[in-house]
Amino acid sequence: MSGAPLKFETPIQDAISRIRFAPTSHNLLIASWDSKLRLYDVGSSVLRLEAPAEAALLDCCFQNESVAFSAGSDGFIRRYDLHSGICEMIGNHDDIATCIGYSDETSQVLTAGLDKKIFAWDARMEEGKKSVFVKSLDSEVTSMSLSGLDMMVTMGALIYVCDLRNLQKPYESKVSDLNTTIICGSAIPNAKGFAVGSADGRVSLEICHPSKSDNIRYMFRCHPKSTDRRYHLAAVNEIVFNPLIYGALLTGDDEGHVIAWNAQSRKRLFQLPRYPNSVASLAYHHQGQLLAVASSYTYRQAIESEELPQIFIHEIGDANMRSADIGSSSCN
């Protein structure tokens, strides 16, 4: 399974926007611009579900093993029963819906769009009676990430963190050290902190220890070994943290590079073989042993490969992620 692409009887026909592994299984959720949400069983190499929509799907997330959600270019937020394939609308933005996430802690579906609004729906309420909270913002949200009771969103070069228990409270804002447009962001699982990636190939990382004084905060460039670090300016499209190994993260960029890093030692751990297209999305299996990589054009660049999108599955061992001795180099 290491590095093998998933096989589809009918290939995905347009750009992949998001992939996410299920909470407890080998099922992989796939949202794409061809207006279809797919559920693929990676363990059995079987496509379990292909649900059509009326618009391009720009993001997706699981609620649990039976229910998923998507955000569409028509502004609608869709709920899917993954067993029956039935799809229903739970609400909509006034413009393109770009980000979606689900919080187990608060049972909320969180969404953001180009209408400069964040919506929160109570997933426990019956259809038509869902409690809706709306937060108006000053700018469009470029990325969203949830961790525990924290939600992190990015807008331009700014980072905002809020408590999901009190969304009416003013958001805590942070100015990114990147001083440029943030493309992606990821909150650190089971910890206070985040990493954000920029359009010029840099990552800013911040990890807070409430009981310690040794907080981690620094910035580094995600240049692959094969390039001159001074001229590698490929946008960082995705950042994911290993769900079980504290401080281990992966970055994926516009030129097809996926690189593993150790946040605490500030070391590069390893680099995967270059992919045929941009790395549009990354997803870790809940046990941290499998990594899914979506190789796809992203519509962010004027010139991109026109090859059909593919999803590759890698087996990532603990030894690779824990050790900074194998092919490692400093982040700088």
pTM tops 0.85, yes or no: yes
The more confidently predicted of residues 214 and 32 is 32
Q: Is 224 left (phi over 0), alpha (psi -120 to 50) or beta?
A: beta
Phi, psi of 312 (to 5 degrees): -110, 145
pLDDT at 127 over 80: no
Summarize the confidence of residues 171-183 as an average pLDDT: 83
**Residue pLDDT, tens place only, 270-298:** 999 999 999 999 999 999 999 999 999 99
Summarize the confidence of residues 135-141 as an average pLDDT: 91
Q: Which of 125, 205, 112, 124 is nearest to 167 (CA)?
A: 112
Residue 191: predicted pLDDT: 78
Summarize the confidence of residues 159-178 as an average pLDDT: 84
Q: Other C-beta atoms within 10 Å of 66: how many? A: 12
8 A C-beta contact, residue 78 and residue 70: yes
Q: Facing residues of 79 across strands?
A: 69, 88
Query: What is the Cα–Cα distance from 300 to 307, expressed in whole angstroms?
Result: 16
Task: Provide the pLDDT confidence category of residue 328 given band limits of 50, 70 and 90.
Answer: very low
Residue 216 structure tokens: 């981690």
The more confidently predicted of residues 311 and 319 is 311
The more confidently predicted of residues 245 and 196 is 196
8 A C-beta contact, residue 239 and residue 247: no
Residues 114-151: b if buried by 16+ CB within 10 A, e if exposed: ebbbbbbbebeeeeeebeeeebeeeebbbbbbbbbebb
Summarize the confidence of residues 172-190 as an average pLDDT: 87
Q: Is 115 left (phi over 0), alpha (psi -120 to 50) or beta?
A: alpha
Residue 149 structure tokens: 């009771």
The more confidently predicted of residues 75 and 210 is 75
**Residue pLDDT, tens place only, 52-91:** 999 999 999 999 999 999 999 999 999 999 999 999 999 9
Q: What is the DSSP string of 65-115?
A: SSEEEEEETTSEEEEEETTT--EEEEEE-SS-EEEEEEETTTTEEEEEETT
SS3 content of the chain, % helix, strand, coil (to 5): 0, 50, 50
CA distances from 305 to 13, 29, 294 (A): 14, 24, 14
Summarize the confidence of residues 125-148 as an average pLDDT: 84
Summarize the confidence of residues 114-139 as an average pLDDT: 84
CATH superfamily of 4-330: YVTN repeat-like/Quinoprotein amine dehydrogenase (2.130.10.10)
Residue 233: predicted pLDDT: 80
Phi, psi of 252 (to 5 degrees): -130, 135
Summarize the confidence of residues 102-131 as an average pLDDT: 87
Residue 102 structure tokens: 């689900």
Query: What is the Cα–Cα distance from 329 to 332, expressed in whole angstroms?
Result: 9
